[in-house]
Amino acid sequence: MNIFNSLGSNYNLSFVAKNLTTRSTQREFEQLQRYLSKKYDGKVLLTYKGREALRLALRACDMKGAAVGICGFTCFAVYEAIVQEGYSVEYLDIQKDDLNFSAEELSKAIKANPRLKIIFIQNTLGYPCEIQKIKKICQEKNIILLEDLAHSIGARYRDGSEAGTVGDFTMLSFSQDKVIDSVSGGALIIRNKRFYKRLDSFILKKIEEKQEGKDKQYPLNTYMIRSTYTIGLGKLMHAFLKKLNALSNPMLYSNQGEIHSLPLAYADTIYRQFLHLHENLKHREKIANIYKNALNKVVLLDPLCSAIDSSSNLRFPIVVENRNNLIEFLKKYNIHISDIWYDAPIGPKKYLSGTSYRKGMCLNAEVITDKIINLPTHINVSEKDAVFISQKINRWLKLQ
């Protein structure tokens, strides 16, 4: 058994084969556009990256100089998209033992910063935020609401509405290891007609063929790495391909100010995964429930455990002291979970010093980013694997 929480986590042999042979055309591209337009009720622009969709939304808002409120527990790509478009960032701390900011935190931020005009909610790791209260505040204070579904395609809010059907904008990411994964890809759905016009004449650039080729090889390369890891070959191959810069890496992608269209070839892969979204989510939910029931309660985040049935369960988060020690312990059993989403309020940590974030701004996020580990829930984790992982974590806890 060899389990990774990233590195081509969503691919099996059938995905690899289909991905190498699929050749989408304009027809499949438009089919995906129509599907998303109906599902999320708005005008759709398909982009090469989710972060580019965020930038398009900010262009449509046309409020340069305003502040954008984001979860103080997020990805550098979100921060970067905002500053690249000439906005400033307002950090909203997450709630204790939760991964999203509260409506109360938003109200405080609006009072403290009159320039706050737009907010991004995130449903971190798939766990829904308190959208109804947040939307009410946005309506009262005239704040633009964007739902970032990078982690939460298919999640449901407490009132039963699907994530992505509430705000003025919805952003999707189809990047590697996400719920729907075509190695790279994004979408902006403009739900509020007030913003339709501004992007009408906007032309999206094409990405380089070299990058498209790299993405196409990624499922096969990562599949080979994962399946030969135990005999040592996978590790060597991984190091070699990384050295050659032959593996697509979302954190190393630099768009140098340009915004790109989703290449045609990716559209059918995304569309087909939407058609099977229900099975994907059911599997993730089942695995998350196994972790919840089998793990020692000391590592669980209670508010999240009670939201498993409405979450997209992108990963199952737990908190431990001495995280690195557990990561090393699990490696002995071929369980590789070192990819921590997020290890700093704006993660990865190595990028934090380049942001406007200052220590103490989001205290709850600072506590959790030191302790969080995410367990995999993707299709390559079986129920037996989830029990095995839980048993090993419980064993490690006893040794502490």
C-alpha distances (whole Å) from 392 to each of 205, 221, 296, 321 are 48, 29, 11, 16
Q: What tokens were used for 143?
A: 């704040």
143 binds ligand PLP (CB under 6 A): no
Question: What is the phi-psi region of residue 43: left when phi exceeds 0, alpha when psi lies from -120 to 50, beta otherwise?
Answer: beta
Strand partners, 372: 319
DSSP labels, 147-202: EE-TTTTT-B-TTSPBTTSSSSEEEEE--TTSSS-SSS-EEEEE-SGGGTGGGTT-
Of 375 and 386, the one with the shorter C-beta distance to ligand PLP is 375
Give the nearest distance from C-beta 233 to ligand PLP in angstroms.
29
Report the residue from 6, 173, 273, 310 that binds ligand PLP according to the rule CB under 6 A. 173
Shortest Cβ distance from residue 224 to ligand PLP (Å)?
23
Residue with smaller CB distance to ligand PLP, 87 or 229: 87
Cβ-in-10-Å burial (0-12, 13-18, 19+) of 276 comes to exposed
Toward ligand PLP, which CB reaches closer, 24 or 74?
Answer: 74
Which among 10-18, 143-151, 233-241, 273-281 is the span making contact with ligand PLP, rule CB under 6 A? 143-151
Of the candidates 75, 89, 278, the residue with the CA atom closest to the CA atom of residue 186: 75
Restricted to residues 33-62, the positions that interact with ligand PLP (CB under 6 A) are 49-51
Tell whether residue 175 is a contact of ligand PLP (CB under 6 A): yes
CA distances from 21 to 135, 313, 319 (A): 43, 30, 41
Q: How far is the CB of 51 from ligand PLP (least distance, A)?
A: 3
Q: Which of 6, 74, 100, 377 binds ligand PLP (CB under 6 A)?
A: 74
Min dist CB 194 to ligand PLP, Å, is 23
Measured distance CA(381)–CA(377) in Å, rounded: 6
CB of 249 to ligand PLP, least distance (A): 10
How does 166-184 read in b/e, with b if 16+ C-beta sit within 10 Å? bbbbbbbbbbbbbbbbbbb
Query: Per CB under 6 A, does 365 bind ligand PLP?
Result: no
DSSP state of 317: E
Closest contact distance (angstroms) between CB of 47 and ligand PLP is 8
State which residue, 295 or 372, has the beta carbon closest to ligand PLP.
Answer: 372
Q: Which two three-digit tokens encode residue 96?
A: 């204790």
CA pair distance 78, 80, nearest whole angstrom = 5
What 8-state DSSP symbol labels residue 356?
Answer: S
Task: Find the part of the chain contacting ligand PLP (CB under 6 A) among 125-133, 146-154, 297-305, 306-314.
Answer: 146-154
Q: Which is nearer to ligand PLP, 173 or 311 (CB)?
A: 173
In the list 61, 66, 75, 301, the residue contacting ligand PLP (rule: CB under 6 A) is 75
Per CB under 6 A, residues contacting ligand PLP are: 49-51, 74-75, 77-78, 122, 148, 150-151, 173, 175, 186, 250
